[in-house]
Structure 1
């Protein structure tokens, strides 16, 4: 839409939930249930983000530079989409859709045409967030895409209670860590036991906990004897959990794609988990959360 201002907000509602989404980054700013806030509110003393969309890379690039077939330039962590103003193309009481397409500025580092649309929709106690990436060009489109929502820890009304992540598949996926922001080949023992991880800020002293495979397509985040959030993922096989140690939030991040491999080059196509989308094709990604 012509003339829109960065940061303009759109509110969508169900009979249970209220969600606001900014045109800047198509980033969710608030998620309330019956007036109670569940989304981290971006205190810059800890971390100013709330729920950024990660595109066309997830994580860092070597020297903050990427290339496609040898051509490219500077790209900061998690890509440029979260720092760009999207077009709000459709707004209804329970749904809002935003879109972003390539520009002269994006071609400086990412010389490919693309179309990214992001939809937030609410129904009853459930929020659905979906992204569609299209390749309108004539060359393959390599990219990564991820979601980075941050939720309150402790959850409302659960101060002093233990909080945990429970995988629906009861898996014990291997843990990966970053070295200077880049992926390593090392796989550490899983911190999950029969699918359950009791959260502790000390777990994040070495940065994010990343699970490249095996975390499944659903999990629960909740407090013992308190509120819980039920998540489902589609097209997002990689999972990260992150907190600045001691900060009052936990990021539950489903991804398709990860940071560049330590010691590897700058080609996006060679990054772990990158997709390569053929000309004329589209790829869909979705996550949902139900506030129980």
Structure 2
């Protein structure tokens, strides 16, 4: 069984599993649950890390230098056991390094760390990828956290997402898990999107660019979650239609486009990291109300 680590601040408590270094719960000290509990009737995930791809590859096969590798949606890290590197009362750091199993589907040496930290009413997640190979390391990375919808105590209220930049980013849709070419008109108006379950009948809403570096997910006259993103230029919103959660997903990378190359380096927003170098990605969420 995976190991669980519990971290706490004076405002929050968080549990993190060694399997995928995945957050299992997010609670305020009054006992309210703000995260999704992973009911498999809808979706068994809670907050997976997406690496080395975000989204799907054509036919679930990834090409690296012309050679094909089996690669499931959102990559391998969420299904692998991480090692707890360090922890204290309010933070923990997990590590995944390349192995024979990982290199069978992703033929590179790497180190991926995922840190969780709480301070007051704020949770921060930080991922760092280090290229321990002798050649450039191509990858995508994303976060996939799910939050309660409706928010605690806000049943019956209108829920919305408000982009900090007031933007109206174009919408990308999926077909069979792959991105359709082109962009649809933005569903945002002056940065505001009123959430309705019908928005997700055609799968995730993906905003490849223009969503900015932060947003608020809130209920009218009720609680709010304020997000800040670091080095994560892409945004997705997703739920299983009718399920009591919403995923707010900041990414660096997206699913492949229909008809596009299956080469890893050709995927949208792929990062290519020189040998010996590292890249950091992260987000924070502040709970109020």
TM-score (norm: length of structure 1): 0.97
| Partner residue, 1:93 | 89
Q: Give 1:23's aligned residue.
A: 18
For 1:105 and 1:31, the matched residues in 2 are separated by: 31
3-state DSSP class of the match of 2:154? coil
1:167 to 144, 163, 168: 163
| Residue number in structure 2 paired with 1:3 | none
1:211 matched to which residue of 2?
207
Q: CA deviation at 1:269?
A: 0.6
Q: Deviations over 1:75-106 (max 9, x none)?
A: 10000000000000101000000000111111
1:256, 1:130 → 2: CA distance? 13
Q: CA deviation at 1:71?
A: 2.8
Deviation (angstroms), 1:171 = 0.4
d(CA) in 2 for partners of 1:141 and 1:67?
Answer: 14
Q: How does 1:40-51 map to 2 (within 5 A)?
A: 40-51=36-47
Please give the residue correspondences for 1:110-149 in structure 2 after superposition, counting only pairs within 5 Å.
110-149=106-145
**Which whole-Å CA distance do the structure 1 matches of 2:161 and 2:119 have between them?**
24
Contact 1:72-1:108 at 8 Å conserved across structures: no
**Is contact 1:67-1:110 (8 Å) kept?**
no
Please name the residue that 1:197 is paired with: 193
- Determine helix, strand or coil for the equivalent of 1:36: coil
Structure 2 segments unaligned to the other structure (5+ residues): none
Alignment partners' CA distance in 1, 2:140 and 2:79: 16
Alignment match, 2:178:
182
Aligned ranges 1:245-256 → 2 under 5 Å: 245-256=241-252
1-structure distance, mates of 2:85, 2:105:
26
Give the match's secondary structure for 2:59: helix
Task: Provide the rounded CA distance (Å) in 1 between the counterparts of 2:68 and 2:9.
Answer: 43
1: CA distance, partners of 2:64 / 2:132: 16
Indicate yes or no: 2:276 matched with 1:290: no
Q: Secondary structure at the match of 1:37?
A: coil
Match of 2:60 in 1: 64
Matched residue, 2:230: 234
- Give the match's secondary structure for 1:82: helix
CA–CA separation in structure 2 for the residues paired with 1:284 and 1:52: 17
Select which of 258, 265, 273 maps to 1:269. 265
**1:70 Cα deviation after fit:** 1.8
Give the aligned CA root-mean-square deviation in angstroms.
0.7
CA distance in structure 2 between the partners assigned to 1:105 and 1:25 by the alignment: 15
1:52 to 44, 48, 51: 48
Q: Number of matched residues?
A: 287
Indicate if the aligned counterparts of 1:72 and 1:111 stay in contact, CA closer than 8 A.
Answer: no
**TM-score, structure 2 normalization:** 0.98
1:14 aligns with 2:13: no
* Segments of 4+ moved more than 2 angstroms: none
